A and B are shown apart, each in its own frame.
Chain A
Amino acid sequence: MLYINDMNVYYGSSIHAVKGVSFEVKPGEIVSLIGANGAGKSTILKTVSGLLRSRTGSITFDGKEISGYEAHKIVSMGLAHVPEGRRVFSNLTVEENLEMGAYTLKGNVEEVKKDIFSRFPRLLERRHQIAGTLSGGEQQMLAIGRAMMSRPKLLMLDEPSMGLAPILVEQIFDIIKELHQAGVTILLVEQNARKALEIADRAYVLETGKIVMSGDGKTLSESDDIKKAYLGG
């Protein structure tokens, strides 16, 4: 579904943040991308969704080369991105945030909204509340709900569990599993390597801009190197 081949991303002329990364996400998979702070995880997602450009290689989504596309065109092809730090529109209401998620949607927005509200009853309760006043967990739900409003085939999540209490982390991972069961392919970026490997069909490990390991989630979580570096011994 998503093929990334030889991605090289620079900030300015000197910072080489992503160095020749290649990987793929197959239809129906949950793929996790783990790595330490500054490894280049967010940069990869931003490049896939068109906010940044790779100097080389190709990005193929759903059979189409999308590496030259502008970000606002990529969403309508069925690729949604929940950015790091949630980035809800804090001056807009919960409902308006969801409507923005459906900006490119052709067809019945109300219908999709109903579906999202049934998945996230908390958002329904708060539909007229200004998003900036939601709690962190609620904002994360809103960010995911908003991305789902475009009815994506592939959902990319950038550290959805960041800064959340353990119980909320559980909830967010449950939501990801549910979305996956509903047929959405998932590319998950996480610092919480334990959970990310547990949920993943396959995973890639990123270190300073390079993929250093890959495999199925279970194998990786049992590898000694991974245990030492990411799972705390």
Chain B
Amino acid sequence: MTTVIGQLINALQLGSIYALVALGYSMVYGIISLLNFAHGDIIMVGAYAAWFIMTSLNSFLPFGAVAAIAVVFSILICTLLGAGIEKVAYAPLRSAPRLSLLITAIGVSYFLENMAQMIFGAGAKSVPNIISIGSFHVGKMTVSWTSAITLIVSVISMAVLTVFVKKTKMGKAMRAVSEDVGTAQLMGINPNKTISLTFAIGSALAGIGSILYCCAYAQASPTMGSMLGLKAFVAAVLGGIGSIPGAVLGGFAIGLAETLVSSVGLSVWKDAIVFAILIIVLIFKPAGILGKKKIEKV
């Protein structure tokens, strides 16, 4: 029983990281119909940012302060990078065919990976655990603080995002632009600003995800973002791309599937299962679990 619950906690921890990353895919897709393949690599940059702070400031400052700076720095870098990529690479293509945008995104992804390799080398850097406070007990069970905090932080982030999108003026404008840019402009909404904001928010969530990922796996490498990004993308598709609750649901579902496969001794299959899910979703329910059929604009 305790192992089952232990596995479930693992699944939730992994799932919440996928969910945070999937949200970025989904929001960006929702607003400019772009599968932003560079999104996973933003997490990689965030991880290096955390590594840089953790290893360069640790001899001057107490651990708590270094950890706090690392978290803030990493989220900030991701936010700026995400919004910057949009400005430089995607905004000039606003009226270009969607395929050009997709190819650009893939280009940005390779660019970031290769830059990281040039600067930091191809090998992995080990990132000291930011949440270095061990574990606690629930009955006979031991739960690591890393797992608990990961879950709590993710749930809070998602709740804040949901309230933002549902209740604030900016959030409503984001939904309006997602649905119909032209009409949103007629309301006086500046679409470029709204799109930048969407990238910034999605990337900030990726920044949070990258910190939590480092806590779970303790390393940064140039290609870490591509597999994580792909899985989060599958999560977004599974939940229904464009849908915020869908991305969360998809994230947890993928985390659960992967943990399940590993826990029955088939861990070599854990990546394959994710892509099997993708194929099944695309065949049987391409709109995803919570996705709406896209209303074609006339």
Contact = CB atoms under 8 A, between A and B. Distances in A.
A9 to B, nearest CB: 15
A75 B175 CA distance: 19
Given A90-B295, A92-B172, A92-B176, A103 B183 contact: no
B267 interface: no
A49 interface: yes
B173 interface: yes
A87 interface: yes
Interface string B183-217: 11111111100000000000000000000000000
A72 B190 contact: yes
B186 A81 contact: yes
Nearest to A81: B186
Given A89-B175, A89-B176, A100 B187 contact: yes
A146 B179 CA distance: 16
B223 to A, nearest CB: 37
A60 interface: no
A150 B298 CA distance: 25
Nearest to B171: A96
Interface residues of A, number: 27
A232 to B, nearest CB: 27
A76 B191 CA distance: 15
A103 B193 CA distance: 14
B169 interface: yes
Contact of A75 (B169, B172, B182, B186): B186
A147 B186 CA distance: 9
Given A96-B172, A99-B172, A100-B173, A90 B188 contact: no
Interface in A116-130: none
A77 B188 CA distance: 10
A137 interface: no
A136 interface: no
A50 interface: yes
Contacts of A72: 185, 187-191
A157 to B, nearest CB: 12
A146 B180 contact: no
Interface in B142-198: 169, 172-173, 175-176, 179-180, 182-191
A56 interface: no
Given A85-B298, A90-B295, A96-B172, A101 B187 contact: yes
A76 B182 CA distance: 16
A75 B190 CA distance: 11
A20 B7 CA distance: 71
Given A91-B175, A96-B172, A103 B187 contact: yes
Interface string A91-124: 1100010011101100000000000000000000
A168 interface: no
A51 interface: yes
Interface in A33-74: 49-51, 70-73
Contact of A103 (B173, B175, B179): B173
A68 to B, nearest CB: 15
B187 A83 contact: no
A70 B298 CA distance: 22
A130 to B, nearest CB: 11
Contact of A91 (B179, B188, B190): B179
A83 B186 contact: yes
Contacts of B295: 90
Contact of A104 (B172, B188, B191): B188
B186 A49 contact: yes
28 contacts: A49-B186, A51-B185, A70-B190, A71-B182, A72-B189, A72-B190, A73-B188, A80-B186, A81-B186, A83-B182, A87-B180, A87-B182, A89-B176, A89-B180, A89-B183, A90-B179, A91-B175, A92-B172, A92-B175, A92-B179, A99-B169, A99-B172, A100-B172, A100-B184, A100-B187, A100-B189, A103-B189, A146-B187
Interface of A: 49-51, 70-73, 75-76, 80-81, 83, 85, 87, 89-92, 96, 99-101, 103-104, 146-147, 150
* For the complex of A and B, 9 pairs with smallest distance between CB atoms: A104-B188, A75-B188, A71-B185, A87-B183, A103-B188, A100-B187, A72-B190, A103-B187, A72-B185
Interface of B: 169, 172-173, 175-176, 179-180, 182-191, 292, 295, 298
